[in-house]
Structure 1
Amino acid sequence: MDEQPTTAAPRKNDLWGQVIRFGVVGAFSAIVDLGVYTLALHLGLWVHAARALSFICGTSTAYALNRRWAFGVEGGRRRALGFVLLYGTTFFVILGVNALALAVLPDRWWTVTLAWAISQGFGTVCNFVMLRTVVFKD
């Protein structure tokens, strides 16, 4: 009996597979984001400008990897526009969450990193839900 070869392409409606792939992409994109944030702060960039720059770098990484690997869809203007609108909205949300966390957390050596992590976590949950249900939905 001949067996059909399996492909490594992600199944579009496989929720747990998408969650795992999204998590891997998110972890990698977060490393990019935090690395840029830390470097920008080290170079003396204003904290909010550093967060904006790091968000753009992490987001660009996330889009490229999520579109093809996590959600297994082709690109296109509509999807790219949806992604830009979603992440543009998320951008302002994470800046607000980051600023709020900086305002309420005690002034310690770990405060900036924790504020980044809180804003990143909040944005990640919002992004997964919207990517799966709106942007990368077929």
Structure 2
Amino acid sequence: MSSNQPANSIDETSEPAAHTSAVGHLMNNQLVRFILVGGFSAIVDFGSTSLFTWVFGFSDATAKTLGFILGTLTAYLINRRWTFKAEPSVTRFVITMVTYALTYAVQVGLYLVSIPWLADMGLDEFWVRLFSFVIAQGTATVLNFLIQKFLIFRT
């Protein structure tokens, strides 16, 4: 750095280390970001679903629905800003919510179908719910990424 350049300035001829490292490259990858957001949103979803099931005594369908809504809103807001870097849009939000309604049916359907199937295997109630959640969430994540990337955000 030359003596006439301020001490806190960045040399524009060199790229920031985060962009040249493998980690920086991965973090700029939409799929990686989508998966990270999905993981965080899944924690919100499963945590809420568990809370509504075991603390408030809601049915599996009601608890999963409320957890799905909270997880979905979390995912949409973070994905719009961080993963796809899209401007706010009422139209995009409505289309995304319609898409989520479709994947909701798939997710809740898989969740409710897998509970008795896994329970018949003699698993503890917690593991039945967790594995059911993972099956449903995994399927919904793949569907949501494909729909958002190629239809909603078109990046």
Match of 1:108 among 119, 123, 126: 123
Q: Does 1:92 align with 2:105?
A: yes
- How far the C-alpha of 1:108 sits from its partner, in A, is 2.0
Tell me the amino acid that sits aligned with residue 40 of structure 1. Answer: F
TM-score (norm 1): 0.87
TM-score (norm 2): 0.78
| 2:34 counterpart residue number | 22
| 1:125 counterpart residue number | 142
Structure of larger gyration radius: 2
Inter-partner Cα distance in structure 2 for 1:79 and 1:134: 10
Inter-partner Cα distance in structure 2 for 1:87 and 1:2: 43
Which structure would you say has the larger RCO, counting Cα contacts within 8 Å and 6 or more residues apart? 1
Helix, strand or coil at the partner of 1:134: helix
| 2:79 counterpart residue number | 66
Q: Deviations over 1:91-122 (max 9, x none)?
A: 11111111111132224211111111110001
Helix, strand or coil at the partner of 2:29: helix
Distance change (3 Å), C-alpha of 1:4 and 1:102: same
Cα RMSD of the aligned pairs, angstroms, is: 2.1
| 2:13 counterpart residue number | 3
Gap runs ≥5 in structure 2 = 1-10, 19-25
Gap runs ≥5 in structure 1 = 9-13
- How far the C-alpha of 1:4 sits from its partner, in A, is 8.2
Tell me the amino acid that sits aligned with residue 105 of structure 2. Answer: F
Q: How many residues align?
A: 131
Runs of 4+ in 1 over 4 A off after TM superposition: none
Distance change (3 Å), C-alpha of 1:2 and 1:111: closer
